[in-house]
Structure 1
Amino acid sequence: MQNEYQKIAKEIIQAVGGKDNIISIAHCATRLRLIVKDREIIDDDVIENIDKVKGSFFTSGQYQIILGTGIVNKVYSESISQGLSGTNKSEQSSAASQQNDNWFKRAIRVFGDIFVPIIPVLVATGLFMGVRGLIMQEEILAFFGMSPEAISPDFILLTEILTDTAFAFLPVLVCWSAVRTFGGSPILGIVLGLMLVHPSLPTSYDVAQNNADPLYFLEFIQVSGYQGSVLPAFIAGFLLAKIEKWFRKRIPNSLDLILTPFLSLLIMVILSLMVVGPIFREIETLLLSAVTFLIGLPAGIGGLIYGAINQIIVITGVHHALNLIEIQMLASTNWNTVNPISSASIIAQAGAALAVAMKTKSAKTKALAYPSVVSATLGITEPAIYGVNLRYIKPFIMGLIGGGVGGFLSALLGLKATGMSITAIPGTLLYLNDQLPLYILINIVSLVTAFTLTYLFGYSDKKVIKTKKKTTR
């Protein structure tokens, strides 16, 4: 007897046109991703009426089916057991982009492929910062009969190792991931990244604060370390991969092991320290200044704008490129002012979906909406957006308004996180200091605003029924 997930996998395969129409299958945290031969023969209505399916859409050469965390893994495994060709998300994204993506979508995907693998480390670092901020508070220490002066210097050193290492060696992580993504040898990326932060180089922080003098090559090229830099390491990794591949095609096999890494690293360390680094550090600074300027616009206007458009950015996939900004913001200031605004926009979509769930009389819609609310409160909005809000349009718009209100409050209150990539309820771990009540406040305001607007003006079963009748005529 087939289990529940075998049945779902079988129904999905049939609805997309059978095994012969499926080139490959992969999955991410919430979605099953299919590359198909013929998009037109897929029956979207059948797909969306399959049990556990929360929505579907076609983008970037992939047919994506939203199932939710946990479920997607099991359906994927059952699909593979039924004879489909599995691949990883990165390889499938590359194949899909080669089919019909424009240069902009390919560029955004590259940012995702490079930065997503290093985000777990930065999430952990952000949590370490949050925990340190909590235990270092005078009120917390006083509860245990201690004072800041009583804390052991060795313990403080341990906390600094936990919180500072990832950002001190950030170019190593970025360079490794970039070289790997562009088809070079990851170990060369690690070595080049280490060269960019070599202890012999004065750090960029010390040079900026006049605590150290930069090195000078040819008496006019200023050189310092690139601790905490993102864009220079990204470009350096890209160029290293291209140069390495160029040498491997031209150097005889007998000399490849010796000459290729030697020449690749020699050329790239010179280019990185003297050309790529100085140029792209300035560009990086300008990007960071632009985002900081937007969020810092007077009277909370910047937060209002960003909070309102954040989930639109998520739909387009451009949010992967914004990882660069958040990483650089944390590396430069130890704070992330984007995170609380993003969290408000996510919680707002949960509020809109909750209003739909409570107002609708459709058992199918309720079954879709309630789980999507839970998912959104944990920071994953795809089920709420694609399965509920965007399907009925107005709830999504009300969610955007709620996100704008929350972003407005966040900017006014000056909220800032200690890390990135966890939002909503899990995101509270990034505010384990005197900001926690304010963080909770902006999320409650966002949820209530979106819920109220959706319940009063954004959803009606009658309108949905009328729309269905028109489409069936």
Structure 2
Amino acid sequence: MKYDQIAKEILEALGGKDNISAAAHCATRLRLVLNDESKINQEALDKMDDVKGTFSTGGQFQIILGSGTVNKVYQELTKLTGLQEMSTKDVKDAGAKKLNPIQRLVKLLSDIFVPIIPAIVAGGLLMGINNVLTAKDLFIEGRSLIDAYPEIADLAALINTFANAAFVFLPILIGFSATQRFGGNPYLGATLGMLMVHPDLLNGWGYGSALANGEIPVWSIFGFEIEKVGYQGTVLPVLAASFILAKTEQFLRKYIPSALDNLLTPLLTIFITGILTFTAVGPITRSAGNLLTDGLVWLYDTTGLIGGALFGLVYAPIVITGMHHSFIAVETQLLAEFAKTGGSFIFPVAAMSNVAQGAATLAVFMIINDKKIKGIASAAGISALLGITEPSMFGVNLKLRYPFIGAITGAAVSAAFITIFKVKAVALGAAGLPGIISIRPDSIAPYVIGMVISFIVAFVTTIILAKRAAKKEQAAEKAS
């Protein structure tokens, strides 16, 4: 394979070396920051056999080449452009400068929550295992597994403890990640998180009942009363507090002499931020977070299948913009408040959308004659069914348009169906066929049926639309 020729053709299609300001690559894709994306010759890129797909997101234009090829082409591209080799983080930062305020906010949330997803996923899946062991009527009528086999009761209790850890101490994880993202010392962020869930405080989950009974403990300092309430399972309070901590630390480091910096800066940073957290920031953002969560749950519970259908319809378009990353913060809150919310309704809808994208792509594979698109569709369709939709959406469905319409139709119908049965997840995971292990036990059956509906509707709709598109093309050819 002539990698230098591939790189040259790509460079020409991108508008020349002067149009590329930053370049890197991951396992399968070139990640480029372009000065002007309007100069891209998309038709030329689409005709290249080695280009498996392209898409623009987060200020980056990405070209899918595949593993084993992308690194060789990247080397040739750097020779042609004279650019120094860069990391994906460097390109990500360069691309972020081109984003609008909303896109920057989404990227900020993504940068904070993506690193802690493994911990949340692990805790959620363990919660799912505990639910399987303790749910009545799942395997035995009127009984749970621990009712039938008492010897595994302690195993279920142990798993439940492991599962709750990430959510009970969620502010520590978020405090570390958020403070690091805001430019502060992440270990001070973790310390702030520990302070917010300290065992001397009233447990955050008992705040509602304590407020109703007038039993909230307080610190009484010089006549001022500060509520001694923890922030277990919260998101907004620790995000706001971490921002204040990072900015306070940065401010203090500018004015405190270097000889005293290591002594006074951490002390004052934690003390000042802690006071602000418990007097103002925490109570205000706790209320805001509760309103947001309650509002979403109310919307889901009251709008029924219409709301579910609308969410399913727009989910894939939201993914195109990258704004779906902001859902991570909402889902984390929903899962952390499981006793109140019953889990996340966003994850099942995302799974319906992903399965629909995969079904539409596989429908294209079945009916299209173009060998290049057929080759991409086979792998991309399976990938989407497993929860990774970028190759499917950007490599096939959006390019042909009618499969994307078929996919969002399937997502809307299936999302409406699962909304009727209040399907919810107890964990984050692969939003697709493997997502069944993340679903609440009493929701597994409708979840599976929903995936079947999603696949069939998207597949059939795509074939119908493909035939209609073919007839239009034939009529246009005859007319010309």
TM-score range for the pair, normalised by the shorter chain length? 0.7 to 0.9
| Aligned mates of 1:255, 1:389 — CA distance in 2 | 60
| Aligned mates of 1:51, 1:212 — CA distance in 2 | 70
Matched ranges for 1:48-447 at <5 A: 48-51=46-49, 53-67=51-65, 71=66, 74-78=68-72, 81-82=75-76, 83=78, 85-98=84-97, 100-136=98-134, 147-148=147-148, 150-152=150-152, 154-210=154-210, 213-218=215-220, 220-333=225-338, 335-431=343-439, 433-447=441-455
| Aligned mates of 1:197, 1:163 — CA distance in 2 | 17
Match of 1:56, SS? strand
Q: Extract unaligned runs of 5+ from structure 2.
A: none
Match of 2:62, SS? strand
| Aligned mates of 2:258, 2:321 — CA distance in 1 | 44
After TM superposition, give the deviation of residue 35 of structure 1 in Å: 1.7
Inter-CA distance 91–268: structure 2 relative to 1 (3 Å threshold): farther
| Aligned mates of 1:28, 1:140 — CA distance in 2 | 45
CA RMSD for the aligned pairs?
Answer: 3.2
Inter-CA distance 413–30: structure 2 relative to 1 (3 Å threshold): farther
Whether the aligned pair in 2 keeps the contact of 1:207 and 1:213 (CA below 8 Å) is no
Whether the aligned pair in 2 keeps the contact of 1:30 and 1:382 (CA below 8 Å) is no
After TM superposition, give the deviation of residue 177 of structure 1 in Å: 0.9
> After the TM superposition, which of the residue ranges 442-451 and 348-357 deviates more from structure 2?
348-357
Match of 2:441, SS? coil
Letter of the 1:102 partner, please give it: N
After TM superposition, give the deviation of residue 271 of structure 1 in Å: 1.1
Whether the aligned pair in 1 keeps the contact of 2:171 and 2:231 (CA below 8 Å) is yes
Whether the aligned pair in 1 keeps the contact of 2:28 and 2:70 (CA below 8 Å) is no
Inter-CA distance 191–275: structure 2 relative to 1 (3 Å threshold): same
Letter of the 2:394 partner, please give it: Y
Q: Deviations over 1:249-284 (max 9, x none)?
A: 222211111111111111111111221111111111
Letter of the 1:119 partner, please give it: I
> After the TM superposition, which of the residue ranges 355-364 and 314-323 deviates more from structure 2?
355-364
| Aligned mates of 1:16, 1:358 — CA distance in 2 | 32
Whether the aligned pair in 1 keeps the contact of 2:25 and 2:74 (CA below 8 Å) is no
Query: Size of the alignment, in residue pairs?
Result: 463
Whether the aligned pair in 2 keeps the contact of 1:206 and 1:212 (CA below 8 Å) is no
Q: 2:31 aligns with which of 7, 30, 33?
A: 33
Whether the aligned pair in 2 keeps the contact of 1:23 and 1:85 (CA below 8 Å) is no
Q: Extract unaligned runs of 5+ from structure 1.
A: none
Whether the aligned pair in 1 keeps the contact of 2:130 and 2:156 (CA below 8 Å) is no
Q: Deviations over 1:285-320 (max 9, x none)?
A: 111122212222244222111111111111111111
After TM superposition, give the deviation of residue 152 of structure 1 in Å: 4.8
Whether the aligned pair in 2 keeps the contact of 1:196 and 1:225 (CA below 8 Å) is yes
Match of 1:296, SS? helix
> After the TM superposition, which of the residue ranges 150-159 and 112-121 deviates more from structure 2?
150-159
Match of 1:198, SS? coil
> After the TM superposition, which of the residue ranges 326-335 and 387-396 deviates more from structure 2?
387-396
Inter-CA distance 30–315: structure 2 relative to 1 (3 Å threshold): farther
After TM superposition, give the deviation of residue 164 of structure 1 in Å: 0.5
Whether the aligned pair in 2 keeps the contact of 1:402 and 1:446 (CA below 8 Å) is yes
Letter of the 1:309 partner, please give it: V
| Aligned mates of 1:240, 1:116 — CA distance in 2 | 21
Match of 1:151, SS? helix
Q: Percent same amino acid among aligned pairs? A: 36
Inter-CA distance 468–31: structure 2 relative to 1 (3 Å threshold): farther
Letter of the 1:95 partner, please give it: A
After TM superposition, give the deviation of residue 148 of structure 1 in Å: 4.8
Match of 1:234, SS? helix
Whether the aligned pair in 1 keeps the contact of 2:130 and 2:160 (CA below 8 Å) is no
Inter-CA distance 11–177: structure 2 relative to 1 (3 Å threshold): farther
After TM superposition, give the deviation of residue 394 of structure 1 in Å: 2.4
Whether the aligned pair in 1 keeps the contact of 2:179 and 2:243 (CA below 8 Å) is yes
